């Protein structure tokens, strides 16, 4: 990585692709640490023991030439308290991230393929049209949800419930367990 003398811009040494602004430089030394970066591609998350502790990191590559540049800190583990990081739920077919472990509401739902999980929020999904369906807990208006990357049907979103006891489900997402994987 190099910086141009006139502009505070850090670029890929290999292809000169701009990567970070000088005012985003948080720390320098043998390696640079930036608050923000651009024109990068993240590799898969992995656990790595560093001098300062155990971290979940993702390697960083230049989006133009593919040069490995370093890594991004994703999560720090608290080894003193043995705290674990909640999982990320991803599409089993294409590994597209779908939901955060922090958004998990329940693991006690049933779907066509078996067990399903309910989440407060889902990401990288496409909603199908709304329709009424009789489920185990009564009549609901739902919309099927699909992976935005591969189009795989993943579950459904509760749009409306007709039973007051079921209102907590409205706006939540149900993802079939067999159609996703947990990543840590």
Q: What's the pTM?
A: 0.56
Query: How far is residue 2's CA from residue 13's CA, in Å, rounded to a whole number?
Result: 6
- What order of strands is seen across the sheet that includes strand 9-11? 2-3, 9-11, 18-21
All domains in the chain, ordered by first residue:
2-76 (2.170.150.20), 88-183 (2.170.150.20)
- Residue 35 is classified by DSSP as S
CA torsion sign for 136, 100, 142, 96 is: negative
pLDDT tens digits, 32-41: 787 788 888 8
Q: Say what the pLDDT of residue 82 is.
A: 41
Query: How far is residue 25's CA from residue 33's CA, in Å, rounded to a whole number?
Result: 6
pLDDT confidence band for 51 (50 / 70 / 90): low
155 close to 173: Cβ distance less than 8 angstroms: yes
- Residue 145 is classified by DSSP as E
103 close to 155: Cβ distance less than 8 angstroms: no
pLDDT tens digits, 77-128: 655 444 455 788 999 999 999 998 888 999 999 998 999 999 999 999 999 9
């Amino acid at each position: 990585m190099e910086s141009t003398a006139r502009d505070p811009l850090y670029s890929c040494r290999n292809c000169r692709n701009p990567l970070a602004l000088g005012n985003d430089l948080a720390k320098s030394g043998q390696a640079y640490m930036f608050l923000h970066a651009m024109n990068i591609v993240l590799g898969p998350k992995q656990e790595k023991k560093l001098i300062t502790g155990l971290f979940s990191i993702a390697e960083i590559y230049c989006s133009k030439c593919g040069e490995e540049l370093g890594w991004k800190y994703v999560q720090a583990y608290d080894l003193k308290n043995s705290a674990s990081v909640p999982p990320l739920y991803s599409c089993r077919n294409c590994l597209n991230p779908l939901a955060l472990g922090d958004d998990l509401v329940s693991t006690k739902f049933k779907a066509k393929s078996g067990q399903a999980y309910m989440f407060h929020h889902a990401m990288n999904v496409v909603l199908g049209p709304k329709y009424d369906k009789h489920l185990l807990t009564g009549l609901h208006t739902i919309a099927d949800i699909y992976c935005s990357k591969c189009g795989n049907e993943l579950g459904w979103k509760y749009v409306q419930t007709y039973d007051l006891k079921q209102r907590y489900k409205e706006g939540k997402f149900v993802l079939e367990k067999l159609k996703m994987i947990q990543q840590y």
